[in-house]
Structure 1
């Protein structure tokens, strides 16, 4: 079991009390006429006792567990609450939640630690300290009860929030001793439970946030209403990096409902009106002149041509190297070579970018969805011109994000607009078209795969050259190294990395020729693992067929030194019935990868009739180390397949005259319900580590299906999306 040292700051309140803080926040919200969601408001309304920063227990024994990570549909809110509740030994039926604000975290010395949510880290990145907080709270509650009875804490037991002293047959509840527990000095160390003994964590419990969604009480960021609120609709130069040259405000300023026509920054203009539709109508009519610059000459074709140059260019950016693959390839008797490509993808969340801001010379507040609450607070402060202590961010629930709200560009824009309209709440919303055009796109890449085979069909050397855009060169230049962008090699790293390659080749070279077009890249759900898995897993499948070997048997030989990778692959293969004959006209494909700390694999069954693909079934196997909520894992994997298969089937953003062409869902399609295959999820947690769930399995969906498509048609699909490929007979 794990032992964790606690400091007082981990669990005790500072001079800013929870009740005082919420009271002031509620007062400010009342002035604005903003309704706090019920679960958040409960803590402000009733008498409560904070046991520590993570646990608040009401006199009626109801419990609020504070959640510092963003909930955007992935279920981490419930999973984190389960981990705290498990160590707390409380009654799960009495558990609710409260969302932490970054300004409160700052005031309390970052007691809730990291609030960012991305990279499938919500649970795995905080599981130890949230479990520790739950265990510490339990210890303090028991000690408070024991002191009241004049007995030793170790003589007491807890079952579902009821503390019992067996010898005297006395019992009490958490709610009765919570206030006293807050005065207890936190324990220096706590013993965390062995996951094998879990009764709350590890169980398929229902989500805590489902009711609010079903009854309509859940307020998303773009749903906010406030008295006197105005709505701002911005429009930036459609060519990334272009400038706003001029606009004719007088042409629309007298239209119904229009209050302001504003220059936001060097790239953006905005119309502010009393309703969304009136602002949008005026913006559509606004004469605007853009300075698009040289990037207006860029197209998908010119980008592709530059990427092709990178496939054979010299580069010093090496991600994984063993032996000397180039020398072996130069002398090889037989070489298999193939070029692949992966297009731009849009995050396309259902909830467009939005934020509501109220700016005064003394204070700036934001209500809105974000994956990086602390970064959003910093963005508010920077754009508002106020010290960070004078700024507040109220994180709202997120209607989809997939990595888009890791950026704070929309937060900055909202503040710059509201700053020009002091003391008025302004809700900035992007139109769907603006959201699509001004995205931060999954990067475009190409890849050349070359393998040297010996006469027995063994791989002597493999060279994988990736040519394409670097996310980190744009998003976080500080992480760039002498070997370029380390994130470009996700799923291809040496053993020991959380995104390690699952094969052993005697001579291996994986490198990256970086080319960065003007289109802004971003961390799209699963990031670079997606295309890297397609490139590697489809090419390994090519090698198996080129040598006349069964794809599973071929992989087993390469995976002898990678037992965890192999275990999930075997589980998926067994689940699909790989060694049995499929139904007539049905064909199978496999794929595996490691990403975000987890080992994942998929096996797919497809048929292709008259060029029409039908995906019948996918079996997914995952080893995330530990399972916090199996029901949520199943939901996340099925959902990730929707995302990954949509990209494989339809996802493609093209560039013409420097701008993204796909402006709405009529041109950027997603898979429909009748296209969704049956999904079976197999979890094989091996323990000893914590992996992610929300992103890894996206990567294996496409290559498993593409390998099955080859088995069905004899056609190797190397360029996505499939909508551009004729799968009919030659």
Structure 2
């Protein structure tokens, strides 16, 4: 079979044309690469013409990770970026795994988790190539340098292209601790670099999961239950007799897959099939009832304590002034543009899967389970993703595709309809929080109690993350570990389960906790008669790094300077995924609803590979967080989601998107995440600006639920 190949061509940089290919072969070794031929390390292959194949551990889902990996390798090895011609995701194996021992991309780790390993691999390759050249030239290694794709001996004006040294270098032992290039020698890392995947995406040549085609492939469209966790009761195959191209109907958990010769017939069949589902205990549940349960749980004595410093109850009793408020956020869908899908082929030799996955190990395990084979018989090919946001960690669609392919005896591409994505997908859980603050006579914060209640994020995603006391750490994330000095401080959580399936969503617990904490601190600042920015400065006075981030956002936004009539500013600060982020939103509220005109972002993520990608991720995070705040919500009625498509789940339109200014602080303090930290501060920054403009406090999202049009 032929490879499904994406060639990225036409990228122009510094006047030189670079060509990069993303290759997704039909057949590759199921495990890591041995060192032989052109394979110098588990991550690098170098052809005789000097073309380099990068085998990356990470999934590319629009965050620019593959470009960052290529930059790290090219710089450390000593080749131009254009030498890296092919990038593909490796098979699940030890070189491809990160803690806790799995191949996955999430938690803003796509770049930072691999900097050391990829640089080391490139340095190892450079050293054995240099050693091979030294032997061929009969000169000391110390007299050689690897630069511009060749090993150069300046004293004799000789050079050898690295491609011609690969066979000899592959026979040499890899050094365990190769010397990494000092920062002064890096020519690519840290400089703005065009994304390598963009040309193919804008010309339509990029290969996403939906683009995979295998000879003899059938198409299967899932039809799933509208009610959460409802099981299949039966279906009428004869209801599809009038649709041409139908091949079979295969039962699935919570539904069926309609198999056809083409995708349109499969979709028509999924929509037309007469199907029945078993009743569930929550067939009458709605959002109002779940909200009431969560709010009632705030008064429970049984709770999981995350942090308890000082006697916060006594401080609250004796405070000169107290502030208390309850905040609430809804379930959120991931709403990826590409719906869930996977292509599978099951033969006597094994199972091959093509999938847009964030978790290769889970996809492999699910495929092996569905096929009833040993995991060593499964090969996973990772395509580009049309959106991830945590949703593509889930691998059930891989199991469904394998189940159907095994049943019909042919390769199958299985996909979900948008309606099923909303009905039976995973959500960021709904949550409420009650916060209480104690102020002394001078308006200083001397005590803070944060209590959240709602479903667990990780109970289904990663059950072993639940702590022995029952705490889901995500429900207090970025609050319990905040850099703010609150005085006496308690953070705890009460678990309130509901029927929807909960999952990680971009920035996970910090996404709702940013809104809770930063909106409430704004309330406290006003109650204390203080400027919200200055109030936060006092809470961070001990932390120079955090102050610089907060001050940068305020200064660049012109905090305190006059604005046009009807406009106001709001500020928020949040730390997540090892990075510090502050945002200032400039907002107006008028007849056409809430309008966010400008957002200024300051981020300290420590070290940086590609500044362009960092800024793009901040802009994307702000946009997604703002979209969720303005109008996104999954609401329940009769045990099912009321939202079934984008007509009832509005995504931020481009004409409503604000100008986003990103200011990246290069502190050099390690590697922080980039993909998620821009999300948490935007909702409170906008909410605080709305209060500054109107005097109305926003304590529930989305804004449409508060009657504010967008």
Normalized against structure 1, the TM-score is what?
A: 0.91
Note the C-alpha offset of 1:605: 1.0
Matched, 1:578 2:559: yes
What SS does structure 2 have at the residue aligned with 1:619?
A: strand
Name the structure 2 match of 1:703: 684
Contact 1:253–1:261 (Cα < 8 Å) also in 2 = no
Q: Give the CA RMSD over aligned residues.
A: 2.1
Note the C-alpha offset of 1:579: 3.5
Matched, 1:550 2:531: yes
Matched, 1:443 2:429: yes
Note the C-alpha offset of 1:109: 9.3
Contact 2:24–2:381 (Cα < 8 Å) also in 1 = no
Give distance in 2, aligned partners of 1:242 and 1:41. Answer: 40
Contact 2:332–2:634 (Cα < 8 Å) also in 1 = yes
Give distance in 2, aligned partners of 1:719 and 1:116. Answer: 33
Name the structure 2 match of 1:615: 596
Q: Which has the higher strand share?
A: 2
Give distance in 2, aligned partners of 1:386 and 1:114. Answer: 20
Note the C-alpha offset of 1:40: 4.6
Deviations 1:193-218 (A, max 9, x none): 34455311111111111222133221
Give distance in 2, aligned partners of 1:42 and 1:479. Answer: 33
Note the C-alpha offset of 1:361: 4.0
Matched, 1:689 2:676: no
Note the C-alpha offset of 1:167: 2.3
Structure 1 portions without partners, runs of 5+: 1-28, 494-499
Give distance in 1, aligned partners of 2:592 and 2:209. Answer: 43
What SS does structure 2 have at the residue aligned with 1:411?
A: helix
How many matched pairs? 686
Note the C-alpha offset of 1:155: 0.9
Name the structure 1 match of 2:583: 602
Contact 1:441–1:521 (Cα < 8 Å) also in 2 = yes
Note the C-alpha offset of 1:255: 2.6
Matched, 1:318 2:305: yes
> Structure 1 residues 352, 318: CA separation in 2 closer, same or farther (over 3 Å shift)?
same
Give distance in 2, aligned partners of 1:560 and 1:528. Answer: 26
Note the C-alpha offset of 1:608: 1.6
> Structure 1 residues 197, 558: CA separation in 2 closer, same or farther (over 3 Å shift)?
farther
Give distance in 2, aligned partners of 1:75 and 1:234. Answer: 31
Name the structure 1 match of 2:11: none
> Structure 1 residues 52, 130: CA separation in 2 closer, same or farther (over 3 Å shift)?
same
Q: 1:257 aligns with which of 236, 245, 249?
A: 245
Matched, 1:663 2:644: yes
Structure 1 stretch displaced more, 272-281 or 631-640? 272-281
Give distance in 2, aligned partners of 1:331 and 1:516. Answer: 35
Contact 2:97–2:103 (Cα < 8 Å) also in 1 = no
The 5 A counterparts of 1:634-649 are 634-649=615-630
Normalized against structure 2, the TM-score is what?
A: 0.93
> Structure 1 residues 43, 157: CA separation in 2 closer, same or farther (over 3 Å shift)?
farther
Name the structure 2 match of 1:486: 473
Deviations 1:170-201 (A, max 9, x none): 11111221221111211131222344553111
The 5 A counterparts of 1:30-429 are 30=2, 35-38=4-7, 39-41=21-23, 49-102=38-91, 105=93, 114-195=102-183, 197-253=185-241, 255-265=243-253, 267-422=254-409, 424-429=410-415
Matched, 1:431 2:392: no
Contact 1:232–1:276 (Cα < 8 Å) also in 2 = yes
Contact 1:319–1:492 (Cα < 8 Å) also in 2 = no
Deviations 1:232-278 (A, max 9, x none): 1112222222111111112214531111012123x221211111221
> Structure 1 residues 362, 137: CA separation in 2 closer, same or farther (over 3 Å shift)?
closer
Note the C-alpha offset of 1:158: 2.5
What SS does structure 1 have at the residue aligned with 2:204?
A: coil
> Structure 1 residues 718, 611: CA separation in 2 closer, same or farther (over 3 Å shift)?
farther
Matched, 1:465 2:443: no
Deviations 1:622-649 (A, max 9, x none): 1111011000111111111110000000
Deviations 1:391-432 (A, max 9, x none): 11111111111110111111111111212112x111101111
Contact 1:362–1:386 (Cα < 8 Å) also in 2 = no
